[in-house]
Amino acid sequence: VVSRIAEGLLGLLFPSACVLCHRELRGSLVGGICEDCWPGITPWRGPICDHCGLPLPGSIRSSNYLCADCRRSRFPFEAARSFGVYSGALRAALLNLKFRGHERLGTRLGSLLARPWRALESVGAFGAAPVIIPVPLHPSKERERGYNQAYLLALGVCRALRSHGVAKRPAQRVLVRRRVGVPQSGLSLHARRENVRGVFAVTAPERVRDRDVVLVDDVLTTGATASACTVALKRAGVCRVGILTLARATPQFPDVAQFPGSHTPTAPPASSSGG
């Protein structure tokens, strides 16, 4: 409450620009985004793949439909769910969070994860009191950025669901990234998998053994990172792993049309190249 009042007062004294529409505004911006722009950040309400949460064309009516990739080979996690599609205002907000130091956006955006959290819970991706773990950055990368955006998102969902018996904070220094890989964007699916192979390690197995885990990240693209984390967690004795991300990148939407190794949910399984 105190920080919100302080933010409001600072906003009155020093007008700042909305990170999405760039208008200079007096008064408080919620997480750097103006009142007019927040409603543009909308959840995906259409059909999804029952296992990996991939948004599907509206023509698919079945409630337990699997996308081509999930029919061919399932991911090692129990299920993945995202708030929305990686495009438009949601994409702009995430890019600001990740690359322009808009750290305060993180926890506000994280509160949106309450919706996919319930979706994960309803499909049995985790039971009571799961450990909440952000996908880690390499320590050198986190120092450079000043924060881990996945941690801020995870903290936001912990706060949003505090009254529902969810952990107060995400667990840190349980899962670590041992190598700085090349950025995943722009790589083929095969290259993405190779890029994260053996990168993640569990350094405190006693904190997760025989527990369920909700793994939080900003964007799920091919699922290569989420799968590599899941493999490390399950080797350390974790029971179930649910993947919770703010956005899902899919080739059906213009912003990610050129994304390599893309999912093709409407094509026959044999022709799909995604993962």
Q: 149-160 and 114-122 are packed helices; what angle lies between their axes, rounded to 10 degrees?
A: 80
CB of 176 to Zn ion, least distance (A): 28
Token pair of 183, please? 């950025």
Choose between 22 and 173: whose C-beta lies nearer to Zn ion.
22
Choose between 18 and 158: whose C-beta lies nearer to Zn ion.
18
Q: How many CB atoms lie within 10 A of CB 47?
A: 18
Number of residues lying near Zn ion (CB under 5 A): 11
CB of 26 to Zn ion, least distance (A): 13
Measured between alpha carbons, how far is 55 from 256 in angstroms, rounded to an integer?
13
Per-residue binding string, Zn ion, 34-73, x by CB under 5 A, is x--x-----------x-xx-x------------x--x---
Q: Which residue has the tokens 């007062």?
A: 9
Nearest residue to 208 via CA among 243, 170, 178, 177? 170
Please report the DSSP string for 117-145 in residue order. Answer: HHHHHHTTS--SSPEEEEPPPPHHHHHHH
Nearest residue to 138 via CA among 121, 150, 152? 150
CB of 79 to Zn ion, least distance (A): 9
Please report the DSSP string for 230-251 in residue order. Answer: HHHHHHTT---EEEEEEEE--T
**Span 17-36, contacts to Zn ion by CB under 5 A:** 18, 20-21, 34
Token pair of 241, please? 């792993």
Choose between 34 and 199: whose C-beta lies nearer to Zn ion.
34
Choose between 20 and 85: whose C-beta lies nearer to Zn ion.
20
Choose between 51 and 177: whose C-beta lies nearer to Zn ion.
51
CB of 213 to Zn ion, least distance (A): 20
CB of 82 to Zn ion, least distance (A): 12
CB of 182 to Zn ion, least distance (A): 26
Choose between 74 and 162: whose C-beta lies nearer to Zn ion.
74
Residues of this chain that bind Zn ion (CB under 5 A): 18, 20-21, 34, 37, 49, 51-52, 54, 67, 70
